[in-house]
């Protein structure tokens, strides 16, 4: 039936706004790059430019974490890296299982971004018996039958679903029943989960459709405005972000 979810403030006293949480990884990435270049401090203006956001927004975001900056100077890079990492929970180990080792699952398993930040691929799981034992990204694929045992034995709380749409809900149910409370879903399906379980979805098809919409709109405008349209070529750091509203997710290569 309806979403019986008890409506709650969502932004609690000590709670950090969801929009801010979604940007923290972005800041962390920029800060890590600065750290590797041994840059000691950075101003909100500089960091904001690197992350592709407004500096005022960045300062407000950081203000939710506490006052870690020094007026007249900026933020200490190393300290900020630590604070954000801690806030995001990246200072601890997060074993992750990937279910569905097809093209996408294999790509995810090979993704270097996993180990880099506390995430560890604890196991690769596939329903195809023929896959069992075959190593992917150096990790032997295990059969779905082992799912519950794997989750339990490794204390896995985060699961990645990369199966066909038809199998996603079933896999999801088993993951949740086994103790997983956070799911990253790559299957083009709406997953139904109990309260307390977080689901984020990454859907290539949806992304493309959104782009097509804007593309069509641009074409229409251009036609309507005659030839005198779209001249703009001023290279800018406008980084047309459309990710802020906690919208879409992603994937990515090393």
Partner DNA sequence: CAATCTTTGTGCACGCGTTCACAAAGACAT
Partner DNA sequence: ATGTCTTTGTGAACGCGTGCACAAAGATTG
Give residues in contact with DNA (CB under 7 A): 1, 4, 7, 9-11, 17-20, 43-45, 53-57, 59-60, 62-63, 67-75, 244-246
Contact 40, 77 (CB under 8 A): yes
- Return the exposure string of 8-18: e unless at least 16 CB atoms fall within 10 Å of the residue's CB, then b: eeeeeeeeeee
155 labelled ligand-binding: no
Contact 171, 191 (CB under 8 A): no
102 labelled ligand-binding: yes
105 labelled ligand-binding: yes
Q: Which of 76, 88, 132, 143 binds a second copy (CB under 8 A)?
A: 88
Contacts of a second copy in 135-154 (CB under 8 A): none
Region of 69-77, 103-111, 124-132, 140-148 interacting with a second copy (CB under 8 A): 103-111
Contacts of a second copy in 38-57 (CB under 8 A): 50-52, 54
The DSSP string of 62-113 is HHHH---EETTTEEEHHHHHHHHHHHHTTTS-EEEEEE--SHHHHHHHH-TH
101 labelled ligand-binding: yes
Question: Given the complex with DNA, which of 17 and 188 has the nearer CB atom?
Answer: 17
Question: Given the complex with a second copy, which of 72 and 253 has the nearer CB atom?
Answer: 253
71 binds a second copy (CB under 8 A): no
Whole-angstrom distance, CA of residue 50 vs CA of residue 48: 5
From edge to edge, which strands make up the β-sheet containing 69-70? 41-42, 74-76, 69-70
Region of 70-78, 85-93, 127-135, 143-151 interacting with a second copy (CB under 8 A): 85-93
Residue 98 in tokens: 């990937």
14 binds a second copy (CB under 8 A): yes
Query: In the 8-state DSSP scheme, what is residue 203?
Result: -
**CB of residue 5 to DNA, shortest distance in Å:** 9
**CB of residue 173 to DNA, shortest distance in Å:** 24
84 labelled ligand-binding: no
Whole-angstrom distance, CA of residue 208 vs CA of residue 99: 24
Annotated binding site: 100-105
Annotated binding site for NAD(+): 100-105
């Amino acid at each position: 039936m309806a979403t019986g979810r008890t409506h709650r403030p969502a932004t609690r006293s000590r709670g950090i706004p969801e929009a801010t949480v979604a940007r923290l990884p972005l800041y962390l990435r920029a800060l890590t790059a600065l750290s590797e270049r041994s840059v000691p401090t950075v101003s909100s203006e500089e960091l904001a430019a690197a992350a592709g956001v407004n500096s005022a927004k960045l300062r407000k975001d950081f203000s939710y974490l506490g006052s870690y900056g020094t007026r007249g100077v900026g933020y200490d890079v190393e300290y900020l890296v630590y604070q954000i990492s801690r806030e995001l929970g990246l200072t601890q180990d997060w074993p992750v299982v990937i279910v569905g080792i097809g093209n996408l699952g294999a790509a995810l398993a090979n993704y270097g971004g996993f180990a880099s930040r506390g995430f560890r691929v604890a196991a690769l799981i596939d329903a195809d018996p023929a896959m069992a034992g075959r190593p992917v990204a150096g990790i032997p694929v295990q059969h779905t039958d082992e799912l519950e045992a794997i989750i339990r034995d490794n204390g896995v709380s985060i699961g990645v679903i990369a199966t066909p749409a038809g199998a996603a809900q079933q896999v999801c149910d088993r993951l949740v029943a086994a103790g997983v409370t956070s799911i990253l879903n790559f299957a083009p399906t709406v997953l139904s989960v109990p309260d307390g379980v977080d689901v984020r979805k990454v859907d290539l098809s949806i992304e493309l459709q959104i782009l097509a919409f804007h593309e069509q709109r641009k074409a229409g405008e251009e036609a309507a405005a005659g030839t005198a349209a779209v001249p703009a070529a001023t290279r800018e750091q406008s980084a047309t972000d459309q990710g802020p509203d906690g919208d879409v997710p992603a994937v990515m290569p090393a």
